Structure 1
C-alpha cells in the first residue's frame, strides 16, 4: 500500500534511537510475534519458549543483523518529510504509517465515545530499554503499556521475510505497525490486561488480545486510503490493491504460533500459544478489514476465536 508522494510527514511522532544504546526501565511489553521474551516484571507473562531454535535470528548477543536496504539508519527518521520518502525508505514508511494511524484513530474512537491519545513510535537497533524493561531485536516489534510507546527495530522487517516467510510488500510492514497501535487502542479501551491472567492456549486471553489487535489493524487498513494528512487535507495512502491485501495476509500468517513452532521444533503445541494460529490471525485481520467495525472485533465474545 503506497503513500501519496506529496503527503507531508510529521517526524516528531517518531523518536529514532538507533545507535544510541539503552535507556530507562520497568515492566513488560506486548508484541506481534509469539517469540516475545518475558521482560522484567511482566505485565502479560508472554511465553518465551517459542524462541528456542530461532536465536540465530539475531547476531552478537542481541545486536541486530545488517540493516535491510531502505532502512537508512544513518539518515535518521527525522529526515522523513514526504510520502515519497515513505515509499523509498523503511524508517520513513514506519513514520508515515504512525502518522496515518495517529490521524485515523482519534476521529474513529470519538464517534464511539472514546478518546484517543497519540502515541510515540521509537526506532531502535539491537537493544532498547523501555518503561517495560530491556528488550532486544529478538522480541520483534512491541507496544509497552508502561510508557505507551510502540517500539520497532527496522531490521525485523527483513527477518519477517527471510525467517518467517512473509511477503515483503509495503502493507505487510504497515500491518505490523498497525497491529502494535492496536494494542494501544486496547490499552485505551481496557482489554489489553485480559492477556495477563490467561497467558497461554489456543483460546487464551493472550491469544484473544493479539487477534483483536490484528482486527484493529484491519479496521485501519479499510480506512487508510481515506485518512487525510492534516497538513494538506489529502489522503496519506493510495487505494489498497488486492496485492496489498495479499501482502498483509501473508504477514499475518507468517507470525502465527503454529507456523513459528513448526519451523522451530517441527511440531505444534496449541497449549503454549500466545498469539494465535496463522489461520486465526488472517481471519481476524480480515474481519476488521471487511467490516471496519470495532464491535466486530470482540474476540472475547466468541467461544473459539
Structure 2
C-alpha cells in the first residue's frame, strides 16, 4: 500500500535494536516447558533456545527520519513503523479496552520476554512482554525461500498478522486452548488464521484510518497490492512450506494452516471486518 505523502507518522512504538553480540550462557527467561508451550501457541519453534538463554542486546534506537507518509514510502524501517501507527490506530478504534503493543526490529538474534530469539523463528509476538519481534531479513526470505511476490503490503501483512496475536492476547482468546494438537482443524491453526483475518480486517479499512490531523495514513489498496498480501499469506501456508522442504505434505502436523486457509481468512477479514473472524466457530 502507498502512504499519503502528507500523513503524520508517530513511530514511537517501533524501535530498531542494534546487532547482538551472541547468545549468553546461563539459562533463559522461561524454562523448557514454557518454551514448548509458547512454541505451540505461536507456531514457531523456540525450544532450541532454552539451553542458551537470552541473547545479548544492542542498544534500542528510535526510527530515524520517519515523520511523514513520504518518509514511509521511501521504505525500510519507516514503512514498518508507519504501518504500525496505522494498525495501532485502527485497533484503538475497534476495541474499547485496547492497549498498544511495541515492535522491535532486530538483526540475527535478540532477547525477549519469551527468552532468546534468532532470525530462525521468523516474526513473532511474545505475550509475556506484549511485543512484536521482527528480523527484517525475513522479508527477503518471503520471496527467495517461500516464493512470495514481495511488495509493501506483503510486509505490512506480516506485521498486521502479528498484531492480530496481540489482539487475541489482550482479549483473552489465547486462554484455554488445546495447543498441543495439530492439524487443519486444530486450535493452533484456528488461532493463526484468525490472526490472518484480523490482518485482512485492518487492510480492508486501512485507507480510512486517519492520523492525528485527520489525514488517512494510506491510499486505497490496489488489486496488485492485495495480490501481494495474498501471495505472502499463501507462501507461509503449512502445505507450501512442507512441499518446498521436499518431505511431502502432512496435514496432521499443521500448526498455521494451508495456503488456501490463510488466503481465505485474510480475504474474509478484508471483506467483513473483525466481526467476521470467528475462526473458532467455523469449519475451516
TM, length-normalised to structure 2: 0.87
Q: Deviations over 1:122-179 (max 9, x none)?
A: 0101001101111111111100000000111111101111111111111111111100
Q: 1:43 aligns with which of 27, 38, 41?
A: 38
Match of 2:99 in 1: 117
Match of 2:257 in 1: 276
Larger RCO, structures 1/2 (Cα 8 Å, 6+ apart) = 1
**CA distance in 2: counterparts of 1:171 and 1:120, whole angstroms:** 20
Q: 2:172 aligns with which of 190, 215, 218?
A: 190
Match of 1:71 in 2: none
Match of 2:281 in 1: 301
Match of 1:146 in 2: 128
CA contact (8 A) 1:194 1:206 kept: no
Match of 1:32 in 2: none
**CA distance in 1: counterparts of 2:198 and 2:93, whole angstroms:** 14
**CA distance in 2: counterparts of 1:301 and 1:198, whole angstroms:** 19
Asked if 1:81 is matched to 2:67, the reply is yes
Match of 2:50 in 1: none
**CA distance in 1: counterparts of 2:84 and 2:90, whole angstroms:** 10
Root mean square deviation of aligned Cα: 2.3
CA contact (8 A) 1:16 1:122 kept: yes
Structure 1: runs of 5 or more not aligned: 29-37, 50-61, 63-74
Secondary structure of the corresponding residue to residue 134 of structure 1: strand
Q: How does 1:60-209 map to 2 (within 5 A)?
A: 77-110=63-96, 115-193=97-175, 196-209=178-191
**CA distance in 2: counterparts of 1:107 and 1:163, whole angstroms:** 36
Q: 1:27 to 1:85 in 2, by over 3 A?
A: farther
Q: Deviations over 1:177-201 (max 9, x none)?
A: 1000000110122112455534411
TM-aligned CA deviation for residue 40 of structure 1:
3.3
Secondary structure of the corresponding residue to residue 165 of structure 1: coil
CA contact (8 A) 1:27 1:41 kept: no
TM, length-normalised to structure 1: 0.81
CA contact (8 A) 1:43 1:196 kept: no
**CA distance in 2: counterparts of 1:259 and 1:164, whole angstroms:** 8
Q: Deviations over 1:208-232 (max 9, x none)?
A: 00000000001101110000011x2
CA contact (8 A) 1:26 1:40 kept: no
**CA distance in 1: counterparts of 2:44 and 2:229, whole angstroms:** 25
Structure 2: runs of 5 or more not aligned: 46-54, 56-60
**CA distance in 2: counterparts of 1:11 and 1:202, whole angstroms:** 37
TM-aligned CA deviation for residue 88 of structure 1:
1.3
**CA distance in 2: counterparts of 1:243 and 1:39, whole angstroms:** 41
